[in-house]
Amino acid sequence: MLDLSKYQSIGAALKDALQAFSNEVCLIEADREREKERLTYQEFKERAHPFATALQEAAFVAGDRASIIMTNQSKWLISAYAIFYTGGVLVPLDYKLTPNEQWQLLKHSGAKVLVTEYPIWRQLSVAYGRSAATNVRAVLVTEAPANADLAGAQRWEEFRGSSEPTFVPRTRKDVACIVYSSGTGGRPKGCMMTHENYLEQCVALTSLYPFSPGVRYLSILPTNHAIDFMVGFFGPFICGAAVVHLRTLRPEYLREAFSKYKITYVSLVPLVLKNLQKGLQARFDELPPGKRRIFNALVAANKALTKSHPRLGLSRRLLKQVHDPFGGELRTIIVGGAFTEPQTLQFFYDLGIPVANGYGLTEAGTAITVNDLKPFRADTVGKPLPGMEVRIVNAGADGIGEVSVRSKTIMSGYLNEPELTAAAIVDGWLMTGDLGRMESTGHLQLFGRKKNMIVTEEGKNIYPEDIEAVFDSLPVKESCIFAANYIWPQRSMVGEQLLLAIHLEPGQTYSDELRRDISARSNKLLNYQRIHGVVLFDRDFPRTASLKIKRSLLAEELAKLDRASAFLPL
């Protein structure tokens, strides 16, 4: 088991790793069929240090915040390392947010420096949100064309100091990253993750999925996401493994990357895993009857032989035609970001490709449970990771209650939100808002949510408060968005939908025109944020003295309606 007990910070642990593995390859970056970059740990350090020096020359000091808004690429990791080296706090933001959402979070985080890519900066620089984020004093832009107008930014490539940077130590309890789990709609939830959170999580995860020199991790999930930050940066780097970045995520180049770079691990969201399943199933269905019978017999044999635990070498020989396109080195597909359907997990396991599903929250420092595959249990999200205490609160007769967690990986709180923090962490236990049951075998099963939000198959957390502004001027008396399962609880983690509850003006009817208006507004949202239906409520919404909607009370009232007849699909 990895021992990181001597380290106080991410920066200190990475600094030693860069030294220890100096001749190993740490990064490969490819754009379609072209390999753009291949760096050893030594070369990585040589890129990062001048950047760190330049940060220090720009008066970036311990505790200062720097944000990265980039797609997955080598400069993401180089910049992050330099930020940690100089004692900074990293604010990784989702490059898929709208420019104004990004400015809103940049302002909220108090970031002094922004590192971004030219195509993203082109949109950010002209967004109106820029004027409010006066805290952002330096913007460093990568890959800008020679004659580009940088709109006040500096070129990342030219932001270099000539002397050696000074390493700035931090303590385990200092904040290392501010990671936004939600909240572009008013109350951003910036999870303050400490150095200890990451050091402990790294030890726990690598005990199940070890990294070492020669291991290659294909980084597809955005690196701002807690999972990829851990298994696509910190984990592999600490152990001397290599990370492979692709500049395009087109399926054909993704497929090619597995065999070209002999990938060992990859993390995917359920949507991509299901797409992979569909593609494989279509291939199997095309087999002529004779070959199909032989193939089915081999799958049956593999199932029988891997019942208690995976046997990779055996599965690779038995089902060569399935494993070869994956490069022959793939050990595990890690799936996260959202709930994965058991039949998808089972499909891959039966083919001898273990899929490590788990359960986690940004607030908990990535993963809480992971399927250890001994034996594989597709109907659960696995057992708690080492160091994680999980308990079920207010369990009913069926054993189902709210999942709560205590560990050294739990965030220190939400930035500038003591009330939200106090509601989320009670006596040291993180209340997840998810419903689950602990089995006698130690496996956790999930049964829906207590909280008003949905998680899409793409791993996107959608909170109603974040998207309600689109319906602000809707010509009705009042409206409010809910997760349908929050009103009518379902013992399920899939097929979650959002609905718009509306209270019409006196004498107003739910006309076709109104429905079209709602639909048009919904379509302005990103495709995974859109609402699926409308529920009509015939009374005033319950409100607080300050006229805020009492959501939980309104949900209780709406729950008295029959879901099947009340939910009007858009």
Partner 1 sequence: MRTLEQTTQEVLDLASKHFNVPAGSLAPEDDFFKKLGIDSLQTLEMLSRLENHFGIELPDYEVQGVSDFRTLASRIQSRL
The stretch near partner 1 (CB under 8 A) out of 115-123, 230-238, 306-314, 357-365 is: 115-123
Residue 143-162 contact track with partner 1, rule CB under 8 A, x = bound? --------------------
**Measured from the CB atom, is 239 or 525 closer to partner 1?**
525
Helix axes 10-20, 41-57, angle to 10 degrees: 140
Assigned token pair, 410 = 């739990």
Assigned token pair, 399 = 């054993």
- Scanning 58-133, the segments in alpha helix (DSSP H) are 74-85, 99-109, 118-124
Are 503 and 537 contacting, i.e. CB atoms less than 8 angstroms apart?
yes
**Measured from the CB atom, is 272 or 368 closer to partner 1?**
272
Which of 32, 293, 307, 317 touches partner 1 (CB under 8 A)? 32
Q: Is residue 14 packed enough to be buried (19+ CB in 10 Å), middle (13-18) or exposed (0-12)? A: buried
Residue 143, Ramachandran bin (φ over 0: left; ψ between -120 and 50: alpha; else beta)? left
Which of 81, 95, 326, 447 touches partner 1 (CB under 8 A)? 95
Residue 306-345 contact track with partner 1, rule CB under 8 A, x = bound? ----------------------------------------
Are 213 and 240 contacting, i.e. CB atoms less than 8 angstroms apart?
yes
Cα separation, 367 vs 362, in Å, equals 8
The stretch near partner 1 (CB under 8 A) out of 172-180, 341-349, 417-425, 521-529 is: 521-529
126 in contact with partner 1 (CB under 8 A) = no
The stretch near partner 1 (CB under 8 A) out of 94-102, 175-183, 477-485, 494-502 is: 94-102
Are 329 and 263 contacting, i.e. CB atoms less than 8 angstroms apart?
yes
How many CB atoms are located within 10 Å of the residue 419 CB? 9
255 in contact with partner 1 (CB under 8 A) = no
- Kindly give, in sequence order, each residue whose CB lies less than 8 Å from that of residue 312, ignoring residues fewer than 6 positions away: 331, 352, 354
Nearest distance, CB of residue 385 and partner 1, angstroms? 29
414 in contact with partner 1 (CB under 8 A) = no
**Measured from the CB atom, is 272 or 333 closer to partner 1?**
272
35 in contact with partner 1 (CB under 8 A) = no
Assigned token pair, 528 = 């995974």
Nearest distance, CB of residue 219 and partner 1, angstroms? 14
The stretch near partner 1 (CB under 8 A) out of 230-238, 311-319, 506-514, 523-531 is: 523-531
Which of 152, 169, 186, 251 touches partner 1 (CB under 8 A)? 251
**Measured from the CB atom, is 120 or 558 closer to partner 1?**
120
Q: What is the size of the binding site for partner 1 (CB under 8 A)?
A: 21
Residue 201: which H helix or E strand, with range?
A: helix 195-208
Q: E strands, 362-412, where? A: 366-370, 383-384, 389-393, 401-406
**Measured from the CB atom, is 16 or 31 closer to partner 1?**
31
Nearest distance, CB of residue 102 and partner 1, angstroms? 12
| DSSP class per residue in 154-221 | EEGGG---SSPPPP----TTSEEEEEEEE-SSSS-EEEEEEHHHHHHHHHHHHHHS---TT-EEEE-S
Are 433 and 451 contacting, i.e. CB atoms less than 8 angstroms apart?
yes
Cα separation, 360 vs 409, in Å, equals 11
**Measured from the CB atom, is 10 or 268 closer to partner 1?**
268
Task: Please tell me whether residue 426 adopts helix, strand or coil conformation.
Answer: strand
Task: Please tell me whether residue 67 adopts helix, strand or coil conformation.
Answer: strand
**Measured from the CB atom, is 72 or 369 closer to partner 1?**
72
516 in contact with partner 1 (CB under 8 A) = no
How many CB atoms are located within 10 Å of the residue 291 CB? 12
The stretch near partner 1 (CB under 8 A) out of 81-89, 112-120, 134-142, 297-305 is: 112-120
117 in contact with partner 1 (CB under 8 A) = yes
Which of 247, 255, 331, 550 touches partner 1 (CB under 8 A)? 247
> What one-character DSSP code corresponds to residue 393?
E
Contact footprint for partner 1 (CB under 8 A):
32, 71, 95-96, 98, 117, 119-120, 247-252, 271-272, 275, 458, 523, 526-527
